Structure 1
């Protein structure tokens, strides 16, 4: 299950990403229920598994129908749905130029993705693997509160490959991670003191 969530590529559309992740979650629970029904012997657990199977399958079907409907040319969001580009995160991004950041690159300059907020917390971790070729570092880390990720061991792309210089497996570090262009990336890393 963790691999499925880790490998899911987010589209950047909150509705589509929510539906995709929810389907993945329901399908994992459905798999457990089917396993209990196929092999379990306890009557109470089998009744619970049957109830889960009925409910989760109906939810999966409804979400998949929404996915198909949302891709149709005539799809219209619900009347109370915020139009794309006008949600709270979009408003924050639009307000950023007013706080001293340039609104757009000057002629001939290349647009650069804005850096994540500097208030992303530093989290303790141990380096497990450094892969310069892919620009990834595997970290055994504590909870990352700003993105709601539990403590685990996971490979992360680094925002700047130069961050990997000098890192070695077994080293204690502190790092920040945030959502960058629809996926989670390490935005800052330093050796622990």
Structure 2
């Protein structure tokens, strides 16, 4: 009897000492989270509105597709217990977010008045399939190469507006900070979550994920950078 009692007590201690993975939440909430991820994945891509411009529509649909995968990866990181699957989910989160940020930066540039496609891009409506169905009566003169873009002038830091945001990630090695922010009027940026380069790496000192901040962002030599936090 004494051996049975000791064995039972030891088993209870061993079972109680097994901890869930760091960051994982109680499994009972997992079904609801996965259901939300599935619903989001089923509608996000389908509900993306198309403009008819192949470049803009490609970027919008690709962002929707990548963000769907992010929802699923986040559910695994929040509730999953298998180390290998959590590593896969973390890799998805790191790589997909960088691709989404690059696509959203292109969307911002494409809305500028002076935007021109890159030299190797075909203007909308003049791709290979379009040319195949168009019977051109005569040869057209080759289009002149686009003029080189001039650096976009930006407001001085003192004049740039301060915008509310929440720090999502700090990457001091890359000199970047990911912010969930309101719209930035001086650069025509919609409210979104995106990684930004900082003009001065010292701005990242002391920043922590989850911190509420006010910051300024400007377009400097054709790229967006955070100038004040």
The normalised TM-score by structure 2 is: 0.41
The normalised TM-score by structure 1 is: 0.48
**Larger Rg, first or second structure (1 or 2):** 2
